[in-house]
Structure 1
Amino acid sequence: MTRYVVATTPIDGQKPGTSGLRKKTPVFMQPHYLENFVQAIFTGTGGAEGKTYVLGGDGRYFNDRAAQVILRMAAANGAKKVIVGQNALLSTPAASNLIRRRQTDGGIIMSASHNPGGPTEDFGVKFNTANGGPAPESITEAIFEQTKTLSEYAICEAQDVDLSKLGVTTLFGMEIEVVDPVVDYHLMMEEIFDFEAIRDLFASGFTMRFDAMHAVTGPYAKAILEGSLGAPEGSVVNAVPSPDFGGGHPDPNPIWAKPLMDLMFSCDAPDFGAASDGDGDRNMIVGRNTYVTPSDSLAVLAANATLVPGYKDGLKGVARSMPTSRALDRVAEALDIPCYETPTGWKFFGNLLDAGRATLCGEESAGTGSDHVREKDGLWAVLFWLNVLAVRQQSVAEVMAEHWAKFGRNYYSRHDFEAVDSDAANGLMEALRNRLPNQPGRVVEGMTIEAADEFAYDDPVDGSRSEHQGIRIMFKDGGRIVFRLSGTGTEGATLRVYLEKVETNVAALQDNPQNALSGIIAAADKLAEIRLRTGRDAPDVIT
């Protein structure tokens, strides 16, 4: 039934983070690589004997083959049951929901999130724990430690399991339940939102365009938006998941979702536009001639939460990642609820959500969520907006104008310098770090620096401390710059520069955030010597 194969080091010295292990697809496809990492997951989490798991992915290249390997390994390791999405598909928030609803021991999600897919592009595997959220550092560290000593893995020799048919089968005594990936998620959305109000909105002639970007959210959006809520047929485009995401980059931002942006700023624009990413956990919101930044979107949802049935009793608290704009802070202050500032990474929100300290949370990188699951949730955010628009009977532009008039506007942008030489990127950060004590009082581009530090977080739930989470430069006029290296890519380093300026004078508001932020942008380049150290004249992506 089972064979054991000598293992090779599976992760080349790279620790899996909360987003799992990501590599180029050919790396995962080399002999024993995927198997070794999966065995490290099982062994590092106390073994699979008698346990039940959820399994699914975003449909990218190698998703189907990896699913068969994981099923055969789960059986060989003694797992009791695996609940797998039909055709091995599950959006990340849907997987989180299944883990929680079925009270499983965790789940394995095959995805590289918003990164491109294909034979030469990216693949990823991550483990989510029994609360439905990404594994915390203690577990990823245990998995990593296993990779250092792993000498064999267990796998059954068997034919492929037919994952196209719903129902229950067995594999060497392990039960495999193939489920419709949409059904349980659909039911959850009906429990949270006022579907009748949204149906009435569409019945009134309201129009929208949802770009699924050839990724996993397509089937969910078709079933819910067009099927259940009555959005006109064709409202959801690029709805069939593709192994290479239609040759595109499944990242819902104005650069990679340009066709949607072009439409929303044209004379043929529908009332509302939205997009989601590769595994369905990110979102982009656009009104007619109005782009909503993820930071502003989070703040607007918090300010209007009681309009949604699932949050009618108010919010226990809110949380944002440190690089996210402080627009949410203003709303929290007005609502007299706690606002937590955490490092980037959904696990930090998970602790607050599990402890009942926060209800809504989000990151500037297009991730928004609540206590309904333990992942960010792209389609949930879209339905939240539709619910708010249905109740308020206003356009996106009108909602934003009223929000800024009440709370002020936090002009905000992120500049990404991708695939930067790792030594150059690390050198830039180290130079900034060394100069931090000398920054307060310094005048840069006419602005005075009030404080400068490297963000560290003391978790109020488990008492853990996370250091080196990004360098912050705060100005006396409320402006802010954050410098951070991202680990979501597979080549070189991505330098992310977050830029923020606050304007409370409604009469002084500008339409173009980049113009409003011009002084902050110039200050960031001067402070970090970006051009000099990276050789880049401009960022690769501006959001």
Structure 2
Amino acid sequence: MARTVETTPFADQRPGTSGLRKKVPVFQQPNYVENFVQSLFDSLEGFAGKTLVVGGDGRYYNREVIQTVIAMAAANGFGRAIIGKGGILSTPAASHIIRKYKAFGGIVLSASHNPGGPHEDFGIKYNIGNGGPAPEKITEAVFARSKVISRYMIADIAPVDIDTIGTTEAAGMAVEIIDPVADYAELMKSLFDFEAIGKMFASGFRMAFDAMHAVTGPYAKEILERRLGAPVGTARNFVPLPDFGGHHPDPNLVHAKALYDEMMGPDAPDFGAASDGDGDRNLIIGRGIFVTPSDSLAMLAANAHLAPGYRSGLKGIARSMPTSGAADLVAKKLGIGMYETPTGWKFFGNLLDAGMATICGEESAGTGSDHVREKDGLWAVLLWLNILAVRSQSVKEIAAEHWASFGRNYYSRHDYEAVASDAANALVDELRGKLSSLPGKVVRGLKITKADDFAYHDPVDGSVSEHQGIRILFEGGSRVVLRLSGTGTSGATLRLYVERYEPDPARHDLDTQAALSDLIAAADEIAGIRRHTGRESPSVIT
């Protein structure tokens, strides 16, 4: 039985680049989840009788919100809900399920790489029928509706058993609980040479995959160990936990330090990898070498033809603006299109749907292809395994050969987390105000050739996205980029990206931070990072 409940608006329900993210206690306020979900449904048209995919990364409050979404979807007229068993669906798997079963859309419950727990982060994101994140026209419509909403619709139903595979009914809507891994695993099998990878494992190849007690644990256990024959124990921390075991599920060198230390040790496995809270990011480490996400994108693109799903070649490569230009050099050699977009996977969706790009990536450890419309952590790991199996070389050897062919883009990202929002905005506003005066100036011996606030003109739909990050370019191809991130829930995260191109193979073994030291100092002098933030050093360096 559906009923209408009166409500009053909340002022803070504007979705960011990855949906609405807040602390759990915010979502636990009476009517908070209901208001946002109803604002979403009110902003969509034509879903009566259609299918809605629902799942999340297993973080705290995931199961409760799934029950709310089921009751509201039924009351609002959806015909079917497809839900991962236990409420589990990785973000790339959710994208695949939407596409495979031709669903109207999907609700993904996750705050990605952010911590989970009773006082940590939660998120609700909507993906459209192509499997990708909702475009800005939808998220802005949701926000506009949330400011005036006066009622929501919900069905009075008993909690649905989401732990048993099968189909039940809820207020006239079919509720189908599915194996969250099976469809995704079959997709991976269609893209990669499982036989070659299996033979590599059978020959003694050793791998360590840290699932960080997050969503990719069940996927890694099934694909790596059961289907590819990797030894039991290859997938570590593979049980998803509501608080991710008390850890931060972000696969970087700070939060996956134990894996990094092992891979740099005397008895390191051949290959190390990790994924994040919702399974869309990846960390790649070879024995004795960390591969930056920017370099990983370039190396995957250069070698993708070794995997069955990409033997016909790439249509193009896309990267976010802050990502290094390493992939640009690959695209140039392959004679294919190269697209520089703002940060946010939704900007890749148009290029993928239009057949203009095959592989996309972001420096924030997100890489993927046209197989889904989200970045995909395990996909990147499997493509690396396919490349290693075919080339019979180590990660370090493949990287050295790549840099010898294309040159090396020394690259690093410095994150200043939880900066007071007024201080972060003051820094950006001050820097924007002097961009026109920077070209021609010399800072720390580096001559500035160009300074701008990046704007993206979408080649598919003609839309324009402005103020996407401040770029300062120097003679010789070096650059620094500054932008505020929209993925946190407290204060602002200031990101500084630093890049130097080095064509000389004799200089490809430098320490990255040392190679970038003059650019880092110049960035602080130009932008006044320490002066504005009061920080002597970044929170995280990757």
Q: Settle same-fold status: TM greater than 0.5.
A: yes
Alpha carbons 2:17, 2:487 under 8 Å: kept? no
Query: Which runs of 5 or more residues in structure 1 are unaligned?
Result: none
SS of equivalent to 2:414: strand
2:368 matched to which residue of 1? 369
Q: Distance in 2 between matches of 1:18 and 1:493?
A: 14
* Root-mean-square deviation (Å): 0.8
Residue 493 of structure 2 corresponds to residue 518 of structure 1: no
Deviation at 1:48, TM superposition (A): 4.2
SS in 2 for 1:440: coil
Work out whether residues 13 and 36 of structure 2, in 8 Å CA contact, stay in contact via their aligned partners in 1.
Answer: no
Query: Given residue 479 of structure 1, which amino acid in structure 2 is its aligned partner?
Result: S
Structure 2 residue aligned with 1:248: 247
Q: 2:230 aligned with 1:235, yes or no?
A: no
Q: Which residue of 1 aligns with 2:489?
A: 490
Asked if 1:395 corresponds to 2:397, the answer is: no
What code does the residue aligned with 2:2 have?
T
State percent identity of aligned pairs: 65
Question: Which residue in the other structure is 1:9 paired with?
Answer: 9
CA distance in 1, matches of 2:450, 2:502: 20
- Deviation of 1:6 (Å): 1.7
Displacement after TM superposition at 1:508 (Å): 1.7
SS of 1:382's equivalent in the other structure is helix
More off after superposition, 117-126 vs 145-154: 145-154
Superposed, 1:173-252 pairs within 5 Å as: 173-252=172-251
- Counterpart in 2 of 1:142? 141
Q: Give the residue type in structure 1 aligned to 2:467.
A: H
Equivalent residue, structure 2, for 1:454 = 453
Letter in 2 for 1:157: D
Q: What does residue 445 of structure 1 align with?
A: 444
Q: Which deviations, in whole Å up to 9, do the C-alpha atoms of 1:141-165 show, x marking residues without a partner?
A: 1111211221110111121100110
> 2:275 aligns to what?
276
5 Å matches for 1:294-305? Answer: 294-305=293-304
- Alignment pair present for 1:411 and 2:429: no
Unpaired runs of 5+ residues, structure 2, are none
- 8 Å CA contact 1:17, 1:137 repeated in 2: no
Separation (CA, whole Å) in 2 of partners of 1:519 and 1:18: 32
Q: Does the 8 A contact of 2:17 with 2:486 survive in 1?
A: no
SS of equivalent residue, structure 1 residue 304: helix
* Partner residue in 2 for 1:133: 132
CA deviations 1:448-472 (Å, max 9, x no partner) are 1111101001000000000000000
Match of residue 118 from structure 1:
117
1: CA distance, partners of 2:108 / 2:531 = 40
Q: Is the 8 A contact 2:481 2:498 kept in 1?
A: yes
- Tell me the equivalent position of 2:82: 83
Counterparts of 1:48 and 1:492, CA distance in 2: 36
What is the distance in 1 between the residues matched to 2:452 and 2:504? 29
Cα deviation for residue 511 of structure 1 reads 3.7
1:541 aligns with 2:535: no
d(CA) in 1 for partners of 2:24, 2:50: 28
Give the drift of 1:14: 4.5
Q: How does 1:276-355 map to 2 (within 5 A)?
A: 276-355=275-354
Contact 1:8 1:33 in 2 (8 A): no
Displacement of 1:8 in angstroms is 2.6
- What stretches of structure 1 move > 3 A for 4+ residues in a row? none
Partner of 1:104: 103
After superposition, what is the alpha-carbon deviation per residue over 1:320-370, rounded to whole angstroms, capped at 9, x for unaligned? Answer: 000000000011111111100000011110000000000000000000000
Contact kept? 2:13, 2:146, Cα under 8 Å? no
TM-score (norm 2): 0.99
Q: Is the 8 A contact 2:7 2:152 kept in 1?
A: yes
Q: Secondary structure at the match of 2:147?
A: helix
2:22 corresponds to 1:26: no
Shift of 1:244: 0.2
CA contact (8 A) 1:18 1:136 kept: no
1:378 aligns with 2:405: no
Query: 2-side partners of 1:486 and 1:290: how far apart?
Result: 28
Give the drift of 1:47: 6.2
Change in 2 beyond 3 A, CA 1:417/1:25: same
> 1:506 offset after TM fit, Å?
0.5
Deviations 1:10-67 (A, max 9, x none): 4x34521341000000100110000110111111112642121100000000000000
The equivalent residue for 1:152 is: 151
How big is each residue's C-alpha offset from its partner over 1:87-142, in whole Å with a ceiling of 9 and x where there is no partner?
11000000000000000100000000000000000000010000000000111111
Matched residue, 2:45: 46
Q: How far did 1:78 drift?
A: 1.3
Shift of 1:514: 0.5
> 1:48, 1:74 within 8 Å by CA — same for their partners in 2?
no
Q: For residues 54-93 of structure 1, what are the structure 2 equivalents within 5 Å? A: 54-93=53-92
